[in-house]
Amino acid sequence: MGYLMGIDIGTSGTKTLLIRDDGRLVAKSFADYPLVHPKPGWAEQDPSDWWNATVKSIREVLAKGNVSGEEVLGLGLSGQMHGAVLLDKTHRVLRPAILWCDQRTAKECDWITAKLGRQGLNRYTCNPALTGFTAPKIIWVKNNEPEIFGRIDRVLLPKDYIRFRLTGIFASEVSDASGTLLFDVQNRRWSAEMMKKLGLNSAWLPEVFESPVSSGKINRETAEATGLKEKTPVVGGGGDQAAGAVGNGVVEPGIISSTIGTSGVVFAFTASVKKDPLQRVHSFCHAVPGKWHVMGVMLAAGGSFQWFRNNMGEEEMQEAKQKGADPYEILTAKAATVPAGSEGLIFLPYLMGERTPYPDPNAKAVFFGINPRHKKAHMIRAVMEGVAFGLRDSLEIFRTMKVPIRQIRASGGGGRSSLWRQIQSDIFNTEIVTINAEEGPAFGVALLAGVGTGVYSSVEEACRKTIKVTSRTSPQKQNAKLYDEFYGIYRSLYRDLKSDFKKVSKIIARGG
């Protein structure tokens, strides 16, 4: 019997798993690493941390599954999107990777937009210039670290740096490349026009594959370090959102995923390119060959809950430690004691700025409507509701784009929590389902590895054979009506505070 391996280079750590061809999980491992914020709004990581975590988690998962490297048929790679990994001519990393949630590139985005115009960006890349994307990061390095810029020989995305370490090959694939602002999404190739207009060197970019296609093979050094067999195929894989969509079975029209990880993502399959004329959501290539998707992204979804836990949940973390429990479960249990709407307390989840529907690096998180009745439990629930309101923003945009919404599949922290599933169902006023596959992007790229090695004939067949609905949550009419009213207030708060957000950023920037 053969096994398939999926590796996801996430923001908080690397997850590696092994599955059988029926999708059954054999073993998994997780190795974490730090996220560094050198300045307000900045976010960086050391790529060597990713590599060390990858080696550790591969060895652990083989040991846990009692599986030899000889039995692994192939592996797929997923990872956090948009990060800029810069290598010199000796293939050494030039500086810490600038990550997807980093907000330092507002000026560079303005420059790119002024240079190409919104219509030009839409024509060349199908997307606007956003602070999270890769191209503005490269321009920022040019403007602020010219000595490093002058030594760039390769630009890789996070998972593709790990591919290079695994195989010695420079390669990427269409779904992750779509988020660089250097990729012609409609024609599924690098945009020579963008590279030329931005004054960047096309030779820096790796070859691009479709997601299930073999892009390289495990080299000898990696085999010795990990226990994998030399020449094991490594398929293209996918950016974490496209890979997670495969892992959720979002590979046909009408099925939508709502994923709450560090970020929050609402994702819909499209058979052809669909562009939002107002450029509020992304149009990217899917990990399904020849298909696309639209995607709305919140920068701090589960990240907002994590922030609350870390800074206001010390009591719950201590309780969890004593009980051997998850602190999130204790926090959520308290939130469940509060009625829908948190008695008028509303949370804006803009801890790291925002992307959809407001591409605004200056946006700030806010608790609005505090009164003497509000306690910690209200704040916890308000955070959960605020994240769901933010996800609804993307669904409303999809509806204006005539994207069919037949079923919403919840995953990540929002899928595991029965309370968060109910909150989403009530705020979306739509049924929420969960599926048997809970491992997200790592599971998705393991399936892609199965397609690339002939275990499955297509991505669609892989999903049909392995993914089943396991629970259904229906909206409660009274709550849905109440949330509809609060959603209108939630929407108005950003508009009312937008100019003040910018003023605060300016004061902070000058050291005030």
Chain-centroid distance, C-alpha 238 = 11
- 293 touches 254 (CB < 8 A): no
Among 209, 177, 216, smallest CA distance to 79 is for 177
Among 492, 416, 59, smallest CA distance to 261 is for 416
Backbone angles phi, psi at 47, to 5 degrees: -55, -25
- Could you give the maximum distance between any two Cα atoms of the chain, in Å? 65
What's the CA gap between 131 and 470, in Å, rounded? 38
Tell me the two tokens of residue 111. 């420059």
- C-alpha dist (Å) from residue 51 to 60, 160, 219, 224, 357: 14, 11, 15, 14, 34
Backbone angles phi, psi at 144, to 5 degrees: -115, -20
Residue for token digits 């399936």? 447
- 417 touches 404 (CB < 8 A): no
DSSP result, 398-465 = HHHTT--EEEEEEEEHHHH-HHHHHHHHHHHTS-EEEES---HHHHHHHHHHHHHTTSSSSHHHHHHH
Tell me the two tokens of residue 57. 């988690």
Residue 496 known to be catalytic: no
What's the CA gap between 198 and 174, in Å, rounded? 21
The beta-strand segments (E) located in 218-375 are 233-235, 238-239, 254-260, 264-270, 282-285, 292-298, 346-348, 366-368
- 43 touches 101 (CB < 8 A): yes
- 240 touches 80 (CB < 8 A): yes
What's the CA gap between 437 and 249, in Å, rounded? 9
What's the CA gap between 452 and 491, in Å, rounded? 44
What's the CA gap between 19 and 4, in Å, rounded? 5
Catalytic residue among 102, 176, 184, 240: 240
- List, in order, residues 6 or more apart from 272 with CB less than 8 Å away: 292
DSSP state of 217: E
Active site residues: 240
